[in-house]
């Protein structure tokens, strides 16, 4: 187990480099993710936020660098050890990435079928439990993804990400495409799940409301590296990089930040 300042590091990334053809997206990227935190990865378009999530979860191979997963070096894992690690996290891709030919219940059971050996009745009970956890009504269980609203699809995707009782959930733009009320509801759901299940949440997001209301820490991807980490308030108070200044001190950020909201209310 890696501990840094008394906090357990569940993911440690060091010296990561990745290019697609002649286009280098990072060079020497470092990042730590601590157990129990809600971490937002932010940065301009094309900085490699989604690719970083894919590298950490083993879907994309970096050109250089190390990825430590729960204190183990990803490069040296046997296929069996990697499978064991994959059971410890859940993934929610942008559009929910549900299988369109499967019902919601069947979608939630996909990871269970892959990793567990349980009777169907038990998988049904577990899947209904996950459905309730994400605030979906039982009637949604037998619907196909195309029969759900965008917000319901996200929740169904989250239920699938929670199928194996993970320690970490990776969320790629969880509130993208949701209306403001749906996005706020989803923010609250993420915070509630993190608090009740003790989850670590790693999310890629552009949503300033999400950042200010639910994220404990932000990591900023710019200039091919993580240029800064800190709480949203710290980044707003001391924006020591042009992109951070533009993003965290612009009009939209000021409107989303709790300090400004208090000022508006008083």
Ligand X SMILES: Nc1ncnc2c1ncn2[C@@H]1O[C@H](COP(=O)(O)OP(=O)(O)OP(=O)(O)O)[C@@H](O)[C@H]1O
**Nearer to ligand X by C-beta: 43 or 90?**
43
Q: Cβ distance 187 to 24 under 8 Å?
A: no
Nearest distance from residue 244's CB to ligand X, in Å? 15
Residues 141 to 170 in contact with ligand X, rule: CB under 6 A:
none
* Burial class for 223, CB neighbours closer than 10 Å (0-12, 13-18, 19+): middle
Quick one: 56 or 159, whose CB is closer to ligand X? 56
* Shortest Å, Cβ 180 to ligand X: 20
Residues 6+ apart with CB under 8 A from 52: 13, 16, 26, 29, 31, 41, 204, 221
| Window 179 to 218, contacts with ligand X (CB under 6 A) | none
Using CB under 6 A as the binding rule, the residues of this chain from 37 to 96 that contact ligand X are 43, 45-51
| CA dist., res. 211 & res. 232, Å (int) | 7
Q: Which is nearer to ligand X, 17 or 233 (CB)?
A: 17
- Quick check: helix, strand or coil at residue 2? strand
Cross-strand partners of 81: none
Q: With respect to ligand X, which residue has the nearer C-beta, 18 or 130? A: 18
How far apart are CB 170 and ligand X at their closest, in Å? 13
Least separation in angstroms between CB 44 and ligand X = 7
Give the bridge partners for 34, in sequence order.
9
- Least separation in angstroms between residue 20's CB and ligand X is 3
Instruction: State CA 31 to chain mean position distance.
Output: 14
Distances, alpha carbon 54 to alpha carbons 85, 152, 222, in Å: 15, 24, 18
Residues touching ligand X, count (CB under 6 A):
10
Q: Which alpha helices (H) appear in 116-257, and where do they start and end?
A: 120-133, 150-161, 180-197, 208-214, 232-237, 242-248, 251-256
CB-CB contact of 168 with 10 (8 Å): yes
Least separation in angstroms between CB 96 and ligand X: 16
Q: For residue 252, which phi and psi values (nearest 5 degrees)?
A: -65, -40
Sole residue written with tokens 């200044």: 245
- Minimum separation from the CB atom of position 51 to ligand X (A): 4
Cβ atoms within 10 A of the Cβ of 23, count? 9
* Smallest distance, ligand X to C-beta of residue 48, A: 4
- For ligand X, which residue of 20, 129, 242, 252 counts as binding (CB under 6 A)? 20
Q: Which is nearer to ligand X, 43 or 232 (CB)?
A: 43
Structure tokens given for 43: 């940065």
Nearer to ligand X, 51 or 98 (CB): 51
CB nearer ligand X, residue 116 or residue 227:
227
Of residues 61 and 132, the one with the C-beta less far from ligand X: 61
For ligand X, the binding residues (CB under 6 A) are 20, 25, 43, 45-51
């Amino acid at each position: 187990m890696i501990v840094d300042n008394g906090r357990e590091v569940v993911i440690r990334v060091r010296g990561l480099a990745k290019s697609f053809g002649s286009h280098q997206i990072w060079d020497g990227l470092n990042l730590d993710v601590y157990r129990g935190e809600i971490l937002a990865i932010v940065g301009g378009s094309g900085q490699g936020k989604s690719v970083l999530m894919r590298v950490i979860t083993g879907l994309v191979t970096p050109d250089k660098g190390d990825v430590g997963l729960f204190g183990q070096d990803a490069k040296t894992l046997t296929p069996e050890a990697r499978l064991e690690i994959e059971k410890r996290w859940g993934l929610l891709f942008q559009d929910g990435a549900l299988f369109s030919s499967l019902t919601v219940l069947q979608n939630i059971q996909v990871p269970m079928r892959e990793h567990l050996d349980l009777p169907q009745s038990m998988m049904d009970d577990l899947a209904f439990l996950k459905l309730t956890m994400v605030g979906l009504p039982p009637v949604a269980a037998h619907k196909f993804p195309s029969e759900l609203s965008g917000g319901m699809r996200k929740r169904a995707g989250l239920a699938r990400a929670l199928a194996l009782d993970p320690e970490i959930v990776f969320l790629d733009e969880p509130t993208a495409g949701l209306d403001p009320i749906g996005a706020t509801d989803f923010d609250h759901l993420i915070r509630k799940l993190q608090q009740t299940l003790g989850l670590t949440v790693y999310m890629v997001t552009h949503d300033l409301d999400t950042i200010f209301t639910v994220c404990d820490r932000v990591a900023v991807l710019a200039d091919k590296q993580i240029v800064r980490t800190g709480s949203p308030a710290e980044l707003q108070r001391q924006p020591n990089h042009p992109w951070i200044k533009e993003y965290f001190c612009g009009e939209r950020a000021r409107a989303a930040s709790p300090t400004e909201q208090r000022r508006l209310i008083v």
